[in-house]
Amino acid sequence: MTPLLSVEKLNVFYDAFQAVHDVDLTVGEGEIVSIIGANGAGKSSFLKALVRQAGRVTGSARLDGCDLAALSTREIVAKGIALVPEGRKLFPTLTIFENLRIGQELGRKGDIGFEQVYEWFPVLRERRDSRARELSGGQQQMVALGRALLANPRLLLCDEISLGLAPRVVNELYAIIPQVRERGVAVVVVEQDISRSLAVADRFVCFLEGEVSLSGRPADADRDTIMQHYFGGAH
């Protein structure tokens, strides 16, 4: 069986600077993979490279056997990869509803609709006509997640969705992920908060200066080994 996503020797360059080196990664259908790594390790660059939004990208990335290199971001999203960008990246003057609808319009046809998203995040229904910038950080993150989910992705990419949020809100957001997986959606979770993302993941990869320094199952890895590969040899 071919994996849903298979990445081989992926590199990302910003002019002369290389942010991601020869990364290999596969993600199976319905699998949750966590990418951890320090600030600047190249996690966001890797996610953005999957949707062709990071500098110059070389190497191969395939979704269900289909080469992504030949596609534009728009086509990749329509094929079933949705990104929840770092920093949420909502459209501040658009209403919640408009933000969500744009996600839906750009995505795949599927069974996740507004009703489902409102069920996961009831507050979004209440505030559907508020502008995005009027919401709290946690609510904004719900919109960002909802926007991506409405695209009915086969692969959901979450970039630091817990950043700057209160633990209670983070719990609420992370509670959704297993439910999403149950629908057969694969999820890649990027976090700096190691324990949070290892708890939800089937597998993890650790990035160090743009390279994969460690990978495995959360249960098999002890904290010291992870720390060592998270911060590099010095620690």
Partner 1 sequence: MVETILNLIVQGVLIGGLYALFALGLSLSLGVMRFVNIAHGDMIVLFSFVLLSLTGVLGWSPFLVALILLPVAFGLGWLLQRFLLQRTVGKGILPILLVTFGLSIIIQNGLLEAYGPNTRKLSGGAIELAALRLGPIDVGVYPLLVFLLAVALIAGLDAFLYRTAIGARIRAVADDPAAADLIGLTSARIYPVAMGVVGITMLVAASCMSVWTNFDPSIGPSRLLAAFEAVVLGGLGSLWGTLIGGVIIGVAQNFGSQIDASWQILAQHLVFLVALVFRPQGLFARS
Partner 2 sequence: MSTPMLLGARAILAAGVLACLAGPWLFDANSLTVLTEFFIVVTLALMWNLLAGYADIISVGQQGFVGVGAYAFFGFTALLHMSVWAAVPLAALTTLLIAVPVMAVIFRLRTAYLAVGTWVAADVLMLIAGKLPGFGGGSGTSLPIPVVKQFGARLGDRIDMFYALSLGLALIAFLATWALLRSRIGLGLTAMRDNEEAAGSSGVDLVRTRILCFLWTAPFLGLAGVMTALEKLRVAPTASFNITDWTIDIIFIVVIGGIGSLEGPILGAILFFLLRQWLADFGAWYLILLGVISIGVILFEPKGLWGACRRWGFPDILPAGHAPGPGAPERVAGPDAQEAPAARTVG
Size of the site for Mg ion (CB under 5 A): 2
* DSSP helix/strand/coil, 86: coil
Residue 96, binding choice from ligand ADP, Mg ion, partner 1, none, Cβ under 5 to 8 Å by partner class = none
With binding defined as CB under 6 A, does residue 85 bind ligand ADP?
no
Which window, 12-20, 57-65, 169-177, 221-229, contacts ligand ADP (CB under 6 A)?
A: 12-20
With binding defined as CB under 8 A, does residue 91 bind partner 1?
yes
Q: Which tokens belong to 169?
A: 């809100």
For tokens 């609420």, what's the residue?
A: 172
CA distance 172 to 65: 34
CA distance 112 to 148: 10
Residue from 4, 20, 23, 48 in contact with partner 2 (CB under 8 A): 48
84 beta partners: 158
With binding defined as CB under 5 A, does residue 44 bind Mg ion?
yes
- In 3D space, the residue among 218, 219, 216, 214 whose CA is nearest the CA of residue 230 turns out to be 214
Residue 82, binding choice from ligand ADP, Mg ion, partner 1, none, Cβ under 5 to 8 Å by partner class = partner 1
CA distance 88 to 83: 10
The interface with Mg ion within residues 69-108 (CB under 5 A) comprises 86
Residue 42, binding choice from partner 1, Mg ion, ligand ADP, none, Cβ under 5 to 8 Å by partner class = ligand ADP
With binding defined as CB under 6 A, does residue 42 bind ligand ADP?
yes
Query: 135: how many CB neighbours lie within 10 A of its CB?
Result: 21
Q: What is the DSSP letter of 154?
A: S
Residue 198, binding choice from ligand ADP, partner 1, partner 2, none, Cβ under 5 to 8 Å by partner class = none
Size of the site for ligand ADP (CB under 6 A): 11
CA distances from 71 to 5, 21, 53, 225 (A): 15, 22, 11, 38
The interface with partner 2 within residues 77-96 (CB under 8 A) comprises none
Residue 16, binding choice from ligand ADP, partner 2, partner 1, none, Cβ under 5 to 8 Å by partner class = partner 2
CA distance 42 to 36: 10
**Residues making contact with ligand ADP (CB under 6 A):** 14, 17, 19, 37, 39-45
